[in-house]
Structure 1
């Protein structure tokens, strides 16, 4: 397997990404190859500074970088030799089996849809995030920003995507899928949630357990929580702030430690024809390592094929 890593993406690239590649190398199998996409000279210099043999990796040299503040569509089109654009071209051609980057999230979404494209039947690919539960384990939240506005049938599809992801990648048996709402009762919520609930209840496509409220995000009543991308992103950012606040207050607690984004690596884009993972812009080497390992896991478990079968 060849795993593509954009070494130019992220606030601390390329140093953090290359150091993350070094950390990931020791946990990859001999049959796995990490392909570093970006400035080869910069990468090899960092590797030598850390007494690491550059020959352990493959390289695809690029000369352009899509900045974090650039317009996603314009940047992908106008910078064909950027590390993100080249990465998606390699993925499309089958030269790598997975691609990950901590770079411009919008460019990663656009690149996914322009190159490997959405799986037939999937109306809107979604991005996921992990929210730890108080008693152990975690909820998978989706969407967390790819789709600010959604239709009811799209949320139903998110339930399918989240359920398959939880079962395939994380080994959760018969995942419990819930709909984020402002009340537990079936008739509660805005027009979107009121229309979505009966569709989920009657679909039979996953183990639907009804509505959950914001206070249930860290509880054990579900394994997958579905929402539109606007709501999901607000919830995610609020959850991430808990960890930052505990650090600033000098508060040490195992539960809040599990909010550290570094442990989870990144957010997969579910519903496209190849494994794609987007990392946090401030990704550290540990986060980069886990992002690479998550993309490998998505390949190993055949997640994309399972999603294709579900949407046939």
Structure 2
């Protein structure tokens, strides 16, 4: 298996990405290798500075970089030799089996739509985030930013995407899927949640358990939490702040330590024809390593094929 990594994406690229690649190499088993996509000369220099043999990696040299603040669609179209565009081309042609980047999230989403494309039947891909549970284990929240505005049938599909992801990648048997809302009662919510609820309740493709509130996010009420991308992004950014606040306050707590984004690597893009992970822009080498491993786990789990079968 060949795993592609964009080494030019992220606030601390390429150094953080290359150092993360070294850490990933050290834990990848035989038969799994990394393809570094970006400026080869700079990457080799960083590797040599850290006394690491460049021959442990394959390289795809690129001459362009998509900045974190660039317009996604324009950047993908106008920079065909960028690390993101080239990485997606490798994924599309099967030269790599998974791809990850801590670069421009919008460009990663647009690149996915233009190259590997959405799985037939999926209305819109979704971004996921991991949330720790108080008693151990984890939950999955989606969408967390790919779709700020959603229609009811999109939330219906997010439930299925999240359920398949939870089961295939994290081994959660018969995941409990819930709809994020302002109350547990079926008649509660805005127009979107009121319309989505009966669709999700009628679905036989996953284990829908009804509405949950924000206070249920870190408990055992559900394993998969469904919401629109606007709501999800606010939730995940708030959750990320918990770890930062505990550090600033000077106390160490096992539960709040699990809010550290580095442990989870990044957000998967569910609903496209290949395993792709988008990392946090401030990703450290540890986060890069875990981003690579998550994309590998997606490929190993055969998640994309399972989603295709579910949407036939």
**TM-score, length-normalised on structure 2?**
0.99
1:287 and 2:253 are equivalent in the alignment: no
Deviations 1:250-294 (A, max 9, x none): 121000000000000010000000001000000000000000000
> What 5-or-longer segments of structure 2 have no aligned partner?
none
Name whichever of 239-248 and 256-265 sits farther off. 239-248
User: In the aligned structure 2, how far is the partner of 1:170 from the partner of 1:27?
Assistant: 19
- What is the CA distance between 1:50 and its match in structure 2? 1.1
The match for 1:209 is 209
User: In the aligned structure 2, how far is the partner of 1:268 from the partner of 1:252?
Assistant: 28
Runs (4+) of structure 1 moved beyond 6 Å?
Answer: none
User: In the aligned structure 2, how far is the partner of 1:27 from the partner of 1:186?
Assistant: 47
User: In the aligned structure 1, how far is the partner of 2:163 from the partner of 2:136?
Assistant: 19
The match for 2:128 is 128
User: In the aligned structure 2, how far is the partner of 1:132 from the partner of 1:95?
Assistant: 35
Deviations 1:42-88 (A, max 9, x none): 11111111111100000000011000000000000000000001101
The match for 1:92 is 92
1:57 and 2:57 are equivalent in the alignment: yes
- What is the CA distance between 1:19 and its match in structure 2? 0.4
- What is the CA distance between 1:114 and its match in structure 2? 0.3
User: In the aligned structure 2, how far is the partner of 1:296 from the partner of 1:266?
Assistant: 13
Aligned residues: 312
- What is the CA distance between 1:232 and its match in structure 2? 0.4
User: In the aligned structure 2, how far is the partner of 1:218 from the partner of 1:97?
Assistant: 33
User: In the aligned structure 1, how far is the partner of 2:19 from the partner of 2:26?
Assistant: 12
The match for 1:260 is 260
SS in 1 for 2:164: helix
Deviations 1:200-236 (A, max 9, x none): 1111110001000011111111100000000000100
User: In the aligned structure 1, how far is the partner of 2:138 from the partner of 2:296?
Assistant: 20
> What 5-or-longer segments of structure 1 have no aligned partner?
none
Structural RMSD (CA) = 0.5
1:301 and 2:301 are equivalent in the alignment: yes
User: In the aligned structure 1, how far is the partner of 2:27 from the partner of 2:112?
Assistant: 27
Deviations 1:182-201 (A, max 9, x none): 00000000011011111111
User: In the aligned structure 1, how far is the partner of 2:263 from the partner of 2:134?
Assistant: 16
Matches within 5 A, 1:1-312: 1-312=1-312
- What is the CA distance between 1:26 and its match in structure 2? 1.3
**TM-score, length-normalised on structure 1?**
0.99
User: In the aligned structure 1, how far is the partner of 2:48 from the partner of 2:230?
Assistant: 43
